[in-house]
Amino acid sequence: MTEYRHVAVIDIGKTNAKLAMVDMEALAEIDVRTTPNTVLDTAPYPHFDTDRLWAFILQGLAEFQAKHGVDAISVTTHGASIVLLDSYGGLATPVLDYEHPGPDALAAAYDAIRPDFVQTGAPRLPMGLNVGAQVHWLLESQPGLRERVAKVVTYPQFWVARLTGIACTEVTSLGCHTDLWEPETGRFSPLAKQLGIAEKLAPAYLATDKVGSVLPMLTRATGLYANTPVFCGIHDSNASLYPHLLALAAPFTVLSTGTWVIAMTIGAAKQPLDPDRDTLINVNALGRPVPSARFMGGREYALLMGKDRVEPTEQDIADVLDRQAMLLPAVVSESGPFRGRKPAWTVEEAALTPGQRAAVVSLYLAMMAETCLSMIGARGPTLTEGPFARNRLFLDMLAEATGRPVLLPSGSATGTSIGAALLTRGAGAALCDKPKAHPSLGTDLAHALQTYADTWHRACTAQHAAAV
């Protein structure tokens, strides 16, 4: 296996794009360039400004080469996007912003041809969040597009194709609720044939595959070394998961917290998933199915706490546990495991102090996370990363409600850019940088949290029964 010291990572998020230089010895970003990922609200529909992004990428690569030397390139992007290329390798149509509601206009026609959840692990989502719905709408609404399309590539691999001239798709992006991939069989779904693109879908690679080298014209334009290797790239959530795949033995679960709280479990107990409760099957960098669930925990925290970002005291926590003061789901009812439910407090909300409120909210979020873990058959420790990893009460309740250890990142070798850079080490790589364990509790507090968790579950069941 070749070791690359300096890996340039093209990291395109939905809101911002980044070019990061990763030092593989330190596993750290040593140089970063950022720019907004703008959406052009112009004809034929809202679309990403890929020309501006390409200019940003080339300029950043040239600067990195002059300053550090670029030994390899990897790519990670947001999901829910796909690119239709013409016979010259250019865009057959602009890259649709997946938040555009256009595909909803043909929802009934699309629903008639899309595969079942059992086959693809992809729940039905609005707008263009199902890539298959995007392709269906584009082919039906854009005159002459079907004839112009020569190749179909996933979004990270669009940038790989621009760098190398080689068209491919990749399994983590195909497994991101596209409807186009079967996670269990590792092949394209029948939808590709239904859409008429089966022969145009570029071959599927693993994220760790080296696709090719930078085109000669780009080496001249940027100063990059001749034959600079370009790796296939990865969907951003799976880029964050990848370092943990290298560091931990199954079974374990990664709980990524932010606006969305996403649970991704490795080595899960086999059980059916319910798409109506926001579960799905992702595909990891090794091409294997990853049962997943999610809810908008960060959004709920912001709605509930506003500007009162206080830490509950030990007395606040004791008061809440003694009174069994609870919030029942769901604060954001459009998604998550309790979709359609209305939130309910078991105590007078206005009577809570800010600290007590913070305690109830932390306990609520932990129970929502525990529900997600239960739905996907999670086993083993739960590695929690993101803002909630700094919330002690959330972590305490998560450990007690699940009855399993909670782990925390060690502080290095995390993030999308680092995960994408690690792809250059190949599928057999390993990390010795292990996470640390969240400390266990005393008997009294542990028992109080377990009692609270049991009561919360019973109250949720009663709430649902009363609403039916």
pLDDT in tens, 93-125: 999 999 999 999 999 999 999 999 999 999 999
Q: Rounded to 5 degrees, what angle do the CA atoms 384, 174, 379 make? A: 30
The amino acid sitting at 129 is L
Confidence (pLDDT) at 435: 85
Least confident of 116-130, 292-306, 322-336, 404-418: 404-418
Q: Are 259 and 303 in contact (CB under 8 A)?
A: no
Identical fold at 6-232 and 248-467?
yes
pLDDT mean over 261-265: 94
Q: Are 297 and 407 in contact (CB under 8 A)?
A: no
Closest CA to 210 of 75, 84, 19: 75
pLDDT in tens, 421-443: 999 998 777 665 678 899 999 99
Annotated domain spans of the chain = 6-232, 248-467
Residue whose entry in the numeric block shows the structure tokens 């091409």: 287
Pairwise CA distance, residues 160 & 292, whole Å: 27
Query: Coil, strand or helix: which one is 300?
Result: helix
H/E element, 34:
strand 28-36
CATH homologous superfamily, domain 248-467: ATPase, nucleotide binding domain (3.30.420.40)
pLDDT mean over 174-180: 96
Confidence (pLDDT) at 390: 93
Residue 463 binned pLDDT confidence (cut-offs 50, 70, 90): confident
* Rounded percentage of the chain residues whose pLDDT exceeds 90: 86
Measured CA to CA in angstroms, residue 63 lies from 190, 218, 223 at distances of 44, 13, 9
Measured CA to CA in angstroms, residue 121 lies from 189, 280, 367 at distances of 11, 5, 24
| pLDDT for 204 beyond 90 | yes
Confidence (pLDDT) at 466: 77
Confidence (pLDDT) at 410: 76
pLDDT in tens, 1-10: 568 999 999 9
pLDDT in tens, 366-392: 999 999 999 999 999 999 988 899 999
Residue whose entry in the numeric block shows the structure tokens 């972590």: 395
Please state which CATH number belongs to domain 6-232.
Answer: 3.30.420.40
Burial class for 26, CB neighbours closer than 10 Å (0-12, 13-18, 19+): exposed
Pairwise CA distance, residues 278 & 251, whole Å: 22
Q: Can you give 105-153 as a three-state secondary structure string?
A: HHHHHHHCCCCCHHHHCCCCCCCCCCHHHHHHHHHHHCCCHHHHCCEEE
Pairwise CA distance, residues 89 & 197, whole Å: 16
Cα dihedral 359, 364, 370, 374 in deg (nearest 10): 160
- 171, two tokens: 């399994």
Pairwise CA distance, residues 57 & 146, whole Å: 30
Cα dihedral 125, 110, 280, 290 in deg (nearest 10): -130
Residue 411 binned pLDDT confidence (cut-offs 50, 70, 90): low
In this prediction the pTM is 0.88
Confidence (pLDDT) at 404: 97
Closest CA to 214 of 78, 53, 71: 71
Confidence (pLDDT) at 279: 96
pLDDT, mean over the chain: 94
Confidence (pLDDT) at 2: 64
